[in-house]
Structure 1
Amino acid sequence: MNDVLGDGGILKEVVQSGEGPPVPENASVLIHYSGFLEYSDRPFETTTHFKYPQMMKLGRDVTLAGLELGLLTMRKGEFSRFLFQPQYAYGDMGCPPLIPAAAVILYEIQILDFLDSGQVDDFIAMSPEEQNDAPLSTLLEVVGTLRSFGNRFFNQSRYDNAKDRYKQASKLLVNRETPSDAETERIKTALLPLYLNLSFTELRLDRPHKALKYGNKALEMDSANTKALFRCEVLNPWRIVSSLIC
């Protein structure tokens, strides 16, 4: 096993290599993991039975120091084993009754996906003026991350969470003061899938009126968009009926 920090406190064995850049600081990670006491073959905690493991944010949801430091060395798709000495795990006191004092801990971790939510946090913390002065490329990266969060929530049937991410992303785009036609077109291109996703999400939330609203917004940008045309055509009979209700 490789010595991650050079002090023998975190040892790492890569079982399956990943691809792309390593996990950035303050990212949100989607992982499967199992924790074992050293020499034990039964985990004291595991996520492998979850169909949809929870997205965990570094610095907030990941509280084990060694686990967070280990994740920062990993890449998407990677499966690795880590051996943590007590100072990087549960310390000299342990965590009774599951973790004895001064326990050495083995973790098996697979990175399914990660999102650079630290960049999103930094951008959201800016003032409106600072956001507008930021490069368009930065805004589009932030929007792309929020959309990915929304997609992840949607696929887990967490539709309210998905809607919130899509709306947050679309608001950032709409609030952008566009100095050129080229930038305006790039913003429209980024907005279109968000409106389509919002329309579908509102439909899943049984809010046809809002679903139709976002479908029409999509058509304003692309009058020939197949998804928007189909969705609005399906919802139009509801619109006629609803206009008769006081």
Structure 2
Amino acid sequence: MKTPAVELKEPLDLTKLMDKGVVFEVNTNEEEEAHQLDDEDVEYTNNLLKYLNLEVAGDDLKAEDTYVEGHPFEKIASNMFNLLGNGKIKKRVLREGYGQKPPDMSVVRVHYNGYIEYQVEPFDSTYARTKPHQFTVNNGEVLVGLDLAVQSMKLNEKSQFIVHPDYAYRKFGCLERVPGDSEVLFEIELIEIIDCGAAATFEQLPEQEQKEFKHVYEYCLALCAKGKDMFGKNINGATKEYNAAVSKLEHCFLADMAEQEKQQELLMRLYTNLLICHAKTDEPKKGCINFNKIMDLVKGTDLKIPAKCYYNNAKCLRMLGDYKLAKRRLEVAYRAEPKNPDILNLLLNLEDDMRKSRREEIERSKAMCGIKEA
């Protein structure tokens, strides 16, 4: 399905915004930052209501007809199997995954909801935060039960786990959300596995296998993760890793449509990262090249261009002096994120640039015609 082009009903009238006395700038005031955090907390709390689980309260209307004696977690556990020999982690697969399980020390990205017995609202939810959680497997970064649960999963799998307190929050609990000595139920979705060892082993593969998508994909995921880690410390090094991944991914062999879709999704991420890097290092032409690649990539697909791409392309276009196109890009970004202060600041700065450019053009025209000020 082709993604329709974004059409603006009318251009953004910045003069109206300015007439109201609103100044858009990045806010460093602690009180206003706290207010913004409060807004995020409210959004998170509201989102939690989307993930109520009646099953953990023993009142699931969709449950099986067969009645099972006991507390809600006991009923849920009756449809699970023991993941460990000691029975302290039980598992039920809700959606089958595919491929291999996460290798040791690989990086994974997961979505999850966490519940305690008799409380239908999650005590923690990455879905409600609208951002998956990323961690390194078997590296002590998350609860032992959550770590072991994810190690048992395959890519795209969705499963439920009941975790004993010994592998969860133990006798201490977790603030006011989880009482001490509580079993917890995690509903987990494994959405990405990044095998960091893939980059080291890829070069050892025969030349023909280095062009196969399954090997290239793992290699490029590892390069992407490496670039992300380097971004804040060595942006040029990050750019190098992203470019290496793009080169491999653009020229690999694709066996079917599923591989093509995965290739496109990762290329979108890499082009976006490169666009941001070049906008940050004042390399506007290279930034625009990557934005054009993004535009070509989404044609005929369901992929959508995020606001940050339009914003960073506008930054590059402004450096090149193409203010009109930069403004059009920013207007699209504004429609997607009208409260983003960076977008609003750049819009106002562009208005200043355009007024200055018009004045300079008028002065040049007058000079060419020999017109002097009275």
The answer as to 2:241 corresponding to 1:168 is yes
Rg (Cα) greater in structure? 2
Amino acid at match of 2:161: F
Asked if structure 1 preserves the Cα contact closer than 8 Å seen for 2:173 and 2:182, the reply is yes
**Aligned twin of 1:70:** 149
TM-score (norm 1): 0.60
The Cα offsets for residues 37-94 of structure 1, whole Å up to 9 and x where unpaired, read as 1232111111112333243222447420011111011111111110001111112332
Query: Matched residues in 1 for 2:131 and 2:99: separation?
Result: 23
The answer as to 2:95 corresponding to 1:16 is yes
Q: Structure 1 residues 99 and 150, CA, compared in 2 at 3 Å: closer, same or farther? A: same
Q: Which structure has the highest strand share of the two?
A: 1
The answer as to 2:182 corresponding to 1:103 is yes
Partner of residue 39 from structure 1, selected from 115, 118, 123: 118
Asked if structure 2 preserves the Cα contact closer than 8 Å seen for 1:146 and 1:166, the reply is no
The Cα offsets for residues 160-217 of structure 1, whole Å up to 9 and x where unpaired, read as 5797544236579xxxxxxxxxxxx989958xx8xx94753444447235727x98xx
The answer as to 2:219 corresponding to 1:146 is no
Q: Structure 1 residues 95 and 202, CA, compared in 2 at 3 Å: closer, same or farther? A: closer
Amino acid at match of 2:221: T
Alignment gaps of 5+ in structure 2? 1-79, 253-266, 291-295, 298-312, 322-374
Q: 1:110 Cα deviation (Å)?
A: 0.9
The Cα offsets for residues 87-124 of structure 1, whole Å up to 9 and x where unpaired, read as 1111233234322221111111111222112545xx3x
**Aligned twin of 1:219:** none
Amino acid at match of 1:167: K
Asked if structure 1 preserves the Cα contact closer than 8 Å seen for 2:107 and 2:137, the reply is yes
The answer as to 2:7 corresponding to 1:7 is no
Query: Matched residues in 2 for 1:201 and 1:13: separation?
Result: 41
Amino acid at match of 1:43: P
TM-score (norm 2): 0.41
Alignment gaps of 5+ in structure 1? 124-130, 173-184, 216-225, 240-246
Give me the CA root mean square deviation: 4.5
Query: Matched residues in 1 for 2:173 and 2:280: separation?
Result: 45
Q: Secondary structure at the match of 2:149?
A: helix
Q: What fraction of aligned residue pairs are identical, expressed as a percent?
A: 23
Larger displacement relative to structure 2 (53-62 or 78-87): 53-62
Q: Which structure has the highest helix share of the two?
A: 2
Asked if structure 1 preserves the Cα contact closer than 8 Å seen for 2:96 and 2:158, the reply is yes
